[in-house]
Amino acid sequence: MEIIVCIKQVPGTSQVEIDPETGTLKRDGVDSKLNPYDLYAIETAVELVEKYGGHVHALSMGPGQAKTALLEAICMGADDGTLVSDRSFAGADVLSTSYTLSQAIRKVGSFDLILCGKQTTDGDTAQVGAEVAEFLNVPHANNVMALSDITEKGLTAKVNLDAYIADEFIPFPALICMDAEVNTPRLPSYLIRKKIGDDAVRLITLNDFEDSDKSHYGLSGSPTHVERIFPPEKNVSKEVITGTSAEQALKIFETLKKRKFI
Amino acid sequence: MEILKINQDKINEETARELISLCPFGAISYDNNKLDISAACRMCKMCVRKGPEGAVTLQEVADAVSVDKNEWRGIAVFVEHRNGEIHNVTKELLGKAKELAKVTGHPVYALMIGSEIAEPAKELLRYGADKVFIYDDPAFAEYLLEPYANAFEDFIHKIKPSSIMVGATNIGRSLAPRVAARFRTGLTADCTKLEMKENTDLVQIRPAFGGNIMAQIVTTNHRPQFCTVRYKIFEQAAPADNPDGEVVPMTLAPEKLASRIQSLAIEEKPKEIDISEASVIVAVGRGFKNPADISMAKELADLLGAQLACTRPMVEGGWFGPKKQIGLSGRTVNAKLIITLGVSGSVQFAAGMRNSECILAVNSDPEAPIFDIAHYAVVGDLYEIVPELIRHCRKGGSLPNEI
């Protein structure tokens, strides 16, 4: 069974803000981490391959430093990692990112299953998986809680559809976005990390793609554009409750009572 | 369309250093006397606006093909329903669509896919749809991605709506990207605010860059323009008693009903109290030092007849299950009262609760962004304030029956 896991490196902190004085964006610290939701997809992939044989190929699109995320996936049990990186990918929106990933997947090779996390913690769109599946013309399911009855032909996915849960038979090749909390992701193995070099991650660029027309990628390939960015609106009519802790507690109580919450 | 142009003649070590420190995404590098912008660029244009004059500029590039916006007319809402029972998010979107349609004079459409839905479809007319297009076939009795996507595609080809709004439910978040990609068009997830331009461009506003920032997003040269909106972001329009409008049956070629995915079994979820429906909420964040301390928030919640909810780090830390999480990756709430304890108030969290009528925030950090949206700001130690507040509530008040 050949499985591709799509992962992303995300900022380690969510504290990006607009500096009110200079109007610049500031991000505290430059640390980054593997998107926490991807851990469930990696764990699912590694467990499947342990049980049924095959390979787990980790794939990520991002700048050079995203290699770290792929190394982490390898240390969790992925057989190899591929980083898709090119200056032409800058400014990509959902559609352009999905198209880039679908091109990269064609390059990585044939697959039975593509696994993704539920969403990333920086973009938070939860849409890239479904768009990648459309570009590859394979069926997909989001919010998958468990996989079972795995055969050569396909699998059964437990799909969370809000009001109910559907057991769906999904034929291979397919793309599945795993829900959060569906398993306990293993820790990256230090032993594997010692064994592999940084060159364990393969780099592919636009020139490696079937479609290497620059205008299909990055900002040029993105139908949506950010017109402006601004800080969230502030509430102007704010009442500040001051005093010692005991006084504050009493004032809160009186406020709640006055507003008939108590 | 605009792209970034690096004017290398204006780049030297000093300007490069300035640009590198300005870029919040670490996308700018300087090697061999050459400045480069990597794929980490998110087009925030900080380097253009705040960088050394003329170093990085915007260059207008002509779009290869330009869309004829006059060919695309109407604001369409995808109808989320179960056996004809319409989800409230659909009614909320119809209310918003009606408001947006006033700017352009476009009609409001609803797209309903299901089996035996001719009757329930009429209900949508009351909530603001001028026309309800229905794909009514036994093959649509249960939600299946592929036939639903095919019907959606057929609707777009035949009706050519300019904007399409989809509820950000699990089904909506699966279907909308599938169809948007089929039309190679833009899709903006989880919009918290929508406006309409006279030229029919839909202005989509959502938190972005994983930070405390809002982005205004437009799809200037593609149609239809897709967006998803979560439940409880917009208000339903008051239903009309004798609405005009009509239900229009649509047909789909039989081969388009085929599905590679097969539904094997359906399991109803036990009805549980959803925090989205709660009118009073106590939300806890990282200000709590130990899981055991949550009992104090629980007690306060019980005294107020409130549901207990939390922030994303609390779920990631295993303190709560994901269903209790408020925010962009959790639930959206629209409470009458929400008390936040030790919640800093990231924009992702705020997006999930800022429409609440009364927000009372307790946090030790006076700079916490939660105080920007709170109606009552309490800068202080929750470990001292909450037990005291509980004491007052215990002796001081009886809970009103109707909140």
B-interface mutation test, from A144, A151, A252, A258, most B Cβ less than 10 A away? A252
Q: Percentage of chain B with pLDDT > 90?
A: 73
Q: Per-residue pLDDT tens for A19-68?
A: 666 666 666 555 789 999 999 999 999 999 999 999 999 999 998 889 99
Strands B193-196 and B202-208: antiparallel
- Assess whether the region B69-257 and the region B275-396 belong to the same CATH fold: yes
Q: Which of B50, B170, B190 sits opposite A143 (nearest CB)?
A: B170
Can you give the pLDDT of all 262 residues of chain A as single tens digits? 999 999 999 887 656 667 666 666 666 555 789 999 999 999 999 999 999 999 999 999 998 889 999 999 999 999 999 999 998 998 899 999 999 999 999 998 899 999 999 998 888 889 999 999 999 999 999 999 999 999 999 999 999 999 899 999 999 999 999 998 899 999 999 999 999 987 899 999 999 999 999 999 998 899 998 888 888 877 777 899 999 999 999 999 999 988 888 8
Residue B50's pLDDT band (boundaries 50, 70, 90)?
Answer: confident
Provide CATH code, domain B2-60: 3.30.70.20
Q: Is B76 exposed, middle or buried (0-12, 13-18, 19+ CB in 10 A)?
A: buried
CATH of B275-396, one of 3.40.50.2000, 3.40.50.1220, 3.40.50.720, 3.40.50.150: 3.40.50.1220
Domain B69-257 fold is: Rossmann fold (3.40.50)
Residues 172-201 of B with CB under 8 A from A: 173-178, 180-182, 184-190
B65 in contact with A, Cβ within 8 Å: no
CA A97 to chain centroid, in Å, comes to: 12
* Residue indicated by tokens 């903006």: B188
B-interface mutation test, from A17, A124, A258, most B Cβ less than 10 A away? A124
A-interface mutation test, from B47, B212, B303, most A Cβ less than 10 A away? B212
What is the distance between the alpha carbons of residues B354 and B381, in angstroms, rounded to a whole number? 23
Tokens representing residue B348 in the block? 């992702």
For residue A242, give the nearest of B317, B85, B378 by alpha carbon: B378
ipTM score of the complex?
A: 0.91
pTM above 0.90, yes or no: no
CA B35 to chain centroid, in Å, comes to: 37
- Burial per residue of B229-261, b for 16 or more beta-carbon CB atoms within 10 angstroms, e otherwise: bbbbbbebbeeeeebebebeebebeeebbebeb
- Yes or no: domain A2-216 corresponds to CATH 3.40.50.620: yes
| Distance from the A123 Cα atom to the nearest Cα atom in chain B, whole angstroms | 6
**Residue-range domain boundaries for chain B:** 2-60, 69-257, 275-396
Question: Contacts of residue B181 in chain A, CB cutoff 8 Å?
Answer: 95, 98, 130-131, 134-135
**Residue-range domain boundaries for chain A:** 2-216
